[in-house]
Chain A
Amino acid sequence: MPRPEERFVTFSIDGREVSAPAGVMLADGAKYGDIEIPVFCYEPKLGAPVGACRMCLVEVEGIPKLQTACSTPVKDGMVVHTQTQRVREAQNSVVEFLLVNHPLDCPVCDKGGECPLQDITFGWGRGISRMVEPKRHFRKPVELSPLIAIDRERCILCYRCVRFSQEVSEDYQLILNERGASSFVGTFDGHPYVAPFSGNIVELCPVGALTSRAYRFRARPWDIEGSGSVCTHCPAQCNVEFTVRDERVLRVLARDNHGVDDGWLCDKGRFAYQAIHSDERITEPLVRNPDSGELEPATWEYALDVAASAIEQAGSSVAAIAGGTTTNEEGFLLQRLVRAVGSADLDSRAGLPPVPAETQRALAAPALQATIPDIEFAHTVLLLGTDPIDDVASLDLRIRKGVRRNGVKLAVATSRPSALDANSRLWLRYAPGAEHAFVAALAAAVGGADGVEALCEKADADPKAVAALAQLLQDGGEDVVIVWGQRIGAAPLPSLLNLAAALRLGERAGAGLIEVPVGGNARGLREVGVQSNAGPGLKDAKAGKSAHEIAQQAADGKLTTLYLLHADPVRDYADRRLWERALQGAEAVVAHATLLSDALRATATVVFPAESYAEKEGTIVNLDGRVQRLRPAIGRPGSVRAEWQVLADVAKRAGHDPQVLTGPIVTQQVVAAVPFYGGLTLEEIGGKGVRWQERDAASAAPEAPAGPFEAGEPLAAPRPNGALRLGTYRSIWAAPEVEVSPALKFLTAKQQAEISPVDADRIGVDNGGRVTVSAGDVSVLASVFVRGNVPAGTVFLAEATAEQSATELLGGEPGLVEVRPA
């Protein structure tokens, strides 16, 4: 659906002439005239108004009954009164009714001081109570879930949480039980409300009925300060506001940015702040004692010297890897240092194969880029090789919104069943690892080329479904957005570019590609040059080794110093055993980390304490090129230093002084080095960020090669022959910050083998049973999850779980794995 055009209408409210966009509801329209109409149930983010609380009754001339401002669209010439006796009485009445069963326990309520019910009672209530009868009572507070406590006596039954569950996150768990004055919010059978976005209902609740169990009784509103920043736990980069008390983050709230998150947070983003204050945080430099062989606390001077001399001595035999939470500034300094010593062995692609610079430049062409809000208004959205719920959580809600409210036609093409299959017009499966063949088949089908059947055969995709998808993309409307996962690898990208060209995605403003990378700031890191085949600004640079090559070199003992900036390749990257050998094989390992992994404990030479995202200053780049700003909310614990400074100090001591004195100077250097960021300042980025493609400097984007692109010959997916194909995914809950956050610990991802009922029968296992999944002599233990829509012949395992990670099995060529009862 194309974006609605904005047109203004003029109406009168309390005697003022007000101009507001046509179609907005009076409750919002009134704000254009600085008039506040009180609301409880109304929240435009939740969809169509329901008019349940009746708080917003106003008088509209020409209509005998009072009207709810939340459901009355503004019209030209409308005359509205919000201050008449009649309206006042209605408002007083509703407040009185709402308080009939409300316990008025504000002094002990977490919401007190930031409570809409309190504010509206003061602003629009009568100020006295006539109710002397007993109020209704519930057992309270009870656990709605391990994360959320519910106090049903405080609840004013505004429906917001129920509507969120039913119409936004679509987990369909929360309902209103019973009816009338006995109504109460809960789940159908009392099971805990566990869902990836459940925490949003705490923020939606206009009273103290839903409270965060992690925040309960930790602070009152007058103890705290809010501090805006951005969450870096995943590439969605949702805007957040940290609630800070005494230099501690106590809570994370959404900071609504339509261009990024639409005002929602996932539970990881909302609760993983606890990792900031984990007892396991490294808060001082650690250096390995050559005598004892143990990592021991050291002074900064000593640690910096050890790191610098490791680099100096290595000469050009230095390699560096940056993880997703690295800022542009840190990444930039790192690549400067590595390139300064004559190496180009740099990577930030989470162990995934490098993409030729030419292809990258073609993909980065501003015209070919869709924005996140485009997803909401596109005719068709294709999800290719990514499941947002795991890879980029809040995008899941954006897609649901587009489908539910604007009739976006969703197509899902993945190897693993997606959480969004149920919302799609069409979903299809291909064999894991056969992305190249699949995308080539789709591009051929759209382009009317031959060989679609053969390519489908190679991808093990249904040719009819591919044809139907091609037709949907071509005939479903011009605005097509393809959201593709970096996880599909490098080989399919030429075909993807050809597909985009065939669909003319570069020619329309509302159409284009969006890449879902692996790692919070993966896009920014590439743009500032943390990669082996392109420098800052995606410019050509001396070629170096990619992560996998670095690992092989290190494992072979041919690499002297390995610099790991917020990267944990042993846990996160494919082929865990290779990386273990690599870390052992490198002469020196210098790392920046917040938590000490087993691998670092065993092999690191120097570990610098890393800042948490609430302490950092710098810039990062969102999926669609929005440069956003991280701002420190709290001071750094222990002796932790700003990491740009640590990197600069290491470089300086190694003889390559980058000449930076402050964080913003690094930002200036980044902007100077990346032509398409030209002239960007921190002020311009501001609180909401700015897409570089929308600035004049975008014209300095590297010239994109013209297509068509040589697609290459895809490999055929291996045929299951009793052994199964292995597909992997990374669960949103497989992360160290989840494991160390007490609130989230219960969600920690455990290894599960997702198999089809057919295979479960054949292997002789059932849900919850234990199996070993083995490739050659390596095996992983998992519990069985029989999933109806997993294609037969395939098993899916989670990557990066704390134990039994599928990355163990991801060495060498993709092949088949044996699944046997354990």
Chain B
Amino acid sequence: MADKLLFDRIDEPGLDTIEVYKRRGGYQQLERALRMTPEEVLQNLLDSGLRGRGGAGFAMGKKVSFLPRGGMDKYLVCNADESEPGTFKDRELMQKSPHMLIEGMVIAAYAAGANRSFIYIRGEYELQAMKLEAALIEAREAGYLGEDILGSGHSQTLYLHRGAGAYICGEETGLLDSLEGKRGNPRLKPPFPANQGLYQGPTLINNVETLATVPHIIRMSGTEYAKLGVENSAGTKLISISGNVQRPGNYEIELGMKARDIIYGLAGGPEPGREIKFWFPGGSSSPVLKPEDLDRGYDFDSMARAGSMLGSGAIIVVDDSNSVVDVALTLAKFYRHESCGKCTPCREGTNWTVKMLERIHAGDATPMDLDIIASVQDQIMGNCLCVLGDAMAMPLSSMVAKFRDEFEQYIEDKRAAAGLGEIPEPTPIEIAGAAA
């Protein structure tokens, strides 16, 4: 295990002040980066192999390189709308080391040629917003933000914007609409934000953790950073573990570590006597994995091979004391509540799914409903305007596929409890002219 980068002595008192942060070497990487050309900084980012830590895992350096060169107004936006259930790593990072994020943002903006930047933080993160606001004041006073930073000629403004509590505003284009003062609805892509983002200008959007990693890449150099982790998954990753484990919380790991070592080693596994039933490897929108997948490495490619994804790096463990149906219902309700309503499959699909699961819960369903649930998830997947619909369909579909027996047993038990008894043989209904 490599040394921690982001969470190195994260609990040191006063780290949220510029004084302590600088004493520990803070803002030196900014000075160093500003002595390089933007192209050299970008090369380091490309070399590092850093992939976005927000969920999609897109190579950060590549994203920066997509921004057109030239003198137009360009923007950097930090996505701090950390709303994916099970994810709470950015929160700790911003709360305890806000300057790391600011330093990373100035370096990234320098590489991207952006002079205006924003942090869009979710409304519920009140303490974190206060910490960041205080840090921003310190950084401005110290000359790390503003005109002609450290005599480099690079100027940058950075503002903090608080959201109003919508999951969809974590979707990058929804975030941009919200930041512009509109209703936070996702936009059609293309155009992608790199070409036409905030106020129609080229915009780089990255997650908090991604941007906070940037100073470390400059310190180590991109090629050195790339040596951390495994192939296609360079570096360390903050993970949030929650659910049925004995030591939930945030941990920094080197990518590629065995999932079992994370869940049992770091987080202590489930309570004694309990078995893991399934686990979400990358937040609530990742397809669930079973205990047999625990020996896989925790990295982008291994999780994809397992049929799931690393996502935001939030592991949610569910043990055998929980019913898969309850988890599915809770999850579906969340996505129904958070669907913006703009596109049809997500708006109606999440709503219908909840209604069906509620019927199962109420004991008024048959196993045929499971087929409809599965089919509805298929109808959502890939057909939506943004990925929110997929975010429900993927885990739901994996739960129904992997725990069909349990669902069916649940339906039978509930029916029995509701006094409905045996499930009658379905009689096909003839519909004139209907093509099934």
Contact = CB atoms under 8 A, between A and B. Distances in A.
Interface of A: 49-55, 57, 65-66, 68, 71, 89-90, 93-94, 96-98, 100-101, 126-128, 130-131, 133-134, 136, 156-157, 159, 175-176, 178-183
Contact of B340 (A50, A57, A130, A179): A179
Contacts of B352: 97, 100, 131, 133
A7 B337 CA distance: 46
Given A100-B351, A127-B433, 5 more contacts: A51-B188, A71-B188, A90-B383, A97-B379, A157-B344
Contact of B348 (A100, A127, A178): A100
B344 A52 contact: yes
B385 A57 contact: no
8 contacts: A53-B343, A66-B383, A93-B380, A93-B383, A96-B379, A133-B352, A157-B341, A180-B341
A50 B188 contact: yes
A94 B383 contact: yes
Contact of A98 (B348, B372, B380): B348
B81 to A, nearest CB: 15
A49 B188 contact: yes
A97 B344 CA distance: 7
B350 A181 contact: yes
Interface string B226-256: 0000000000000000000000000000000
B138 interface: no
Nearest to B342: A52
Contacts of A127: 431, 433-435
Looking at A54, A65, A89, A181, which has the most chain B CB atoms within 10 Å of its CB?
A181
Given A131-B352, A181-B348, A126 B435 contact: yes
A53 B435 CA distance: 23
Contacts of B434: 126-128
Contacts of B345: 54, 93-94, 97
Given A66-B383, A96-B379, A53 B344 contact: yes
B300 to A, nearest CB: 19
Interface string B331-342: 000001111111
Contacts of A54: 343-345, 383-385
B4 to A, nearest CB: 38
Which secondary structure dominates where chain A touches chain B? Answer: loop
B99 interface: no
B63 interface: no
B290 interface: no
Nearest to B389: A54
Contacts of B355: 133-134
Interface string B308-349: 000000000000000000000000000011111111110111
A180 B343 contact: no
B435 A180 contact: no
A104 to B, nearest CB: 14
Q: Which 9 A-B pairs have the closest CB atoms?
A: A93-B379, A181-B351, A183-B341, A180-B339, A97-B348, A133-B355, A127-B434, A51-B188, A180-B341
B356 interface: yes
Nearest to A50: B188
B436 interface: yes
Interface string B369-387: 0001000000110111100
A92 B387 CA distance: 20
A50 B383 contact: no
Nearest to A166: B182
A405 B359 CA distance: 49
B435 A51 contact: no
Contacts of B348: 97-98, 100-101, 181
Contacts of A180: 336-341, 347, 350-351
A156 B338 CA distance: 19
Contact of B347 (A65, A66, A126, A181): A181
B219 interface: no
A594 B38 CA distance: 77
Interface of B: 166, 168, 183, 188, 336-345, 347-352, 355-356, 359, 372, 379-380, 382-385, 431, 433-436
A97 B383 CA distance: 12
A90 B340 CA distance: 20
A90 B436 CA distance: 15
Contacts of A49: 188
Contacts of A93: 345, 379-380, 383
A799 B342 CA distance: 45
B436 A128 contact: yes
Nearest to B352: A100
Contact of A182 (B341, B380, B384): B341
Contact of A50 (B337, B342, B356, B436): B342
Contacts of B380: 93
Nearest to A158: B344
A44 to B, nearest CB: 15
B430 to A, nearest CB: 11
Contacts of B379: 89-90, 93, 96-97
A68 B385 CA distance: 9
Contacts of B344: 52-55, 94, 97-98, 156-157
A127 B356 CA distance: 21
Contacts of B188: 49-51, 68, 71
Contact of A65 (B341, B350, B382, B433): B382
A101 B352 CA distance: 9
Contact of B339 (A51, A55, A89, A179): A179
B328 to A, nearest CB: 16
Given A50-B342, A101-B348, A130 B382 contact: no
Contacts of A181: 336, 339, 341, 347-348, 350-351
A418 to B, nearest CB: 26
Contacts of B436: 126, 128
A180 B352 CA distance: 12
Contacts of A179: 166, 168, 339-341
Contacts of B341: 157, 176, 178-183
Contacts of B431: 127-128
Nearest to A100: B348
A133 B373 CA distance: 13
A175 B379 CA distance: 28
Given A53-B343, A53-B344, A97-B344, A176 B384 contact: no
Contacts of A159: 342
Contacts of A94: 344-345, 383
A185 to B, nearest CB: 11
A101 to B, nearest CB: 7
A182 B339 CA distance: 10
A54 B359 CA distance: 28
Looking at B342, B351, B355, which has the most chain A CB atoms within 10 Å of its CB?
B342
A327 B97 CA distance: 79
A664 B349 CA distance: 60
Nearest to B369: A132
Contacts of B382: 65-66
B166 to A, nearest CB: 8
Nearest to B384: A54
Contacts of B339: 179-181
A50 B187 CA distance: 7
Nearest to A132: B359
B272 to A, nearest CB: 41
Contacts of A182: 341
Nearest to B434: A127
A620 to B, nearest CB: 42
Contacts of B340: 179-180
A134 B358 CA distance: 12
A182 B168 CA distance: 15
B184 to A, nearest CB: 9
A417 B231 CA distance: 67
B49 to A, nearest CB: 24
A100 B349 CA distance: 9
Nearest to B346: A180
A207 B303 CA distance: 44
Contacts of B356: 133
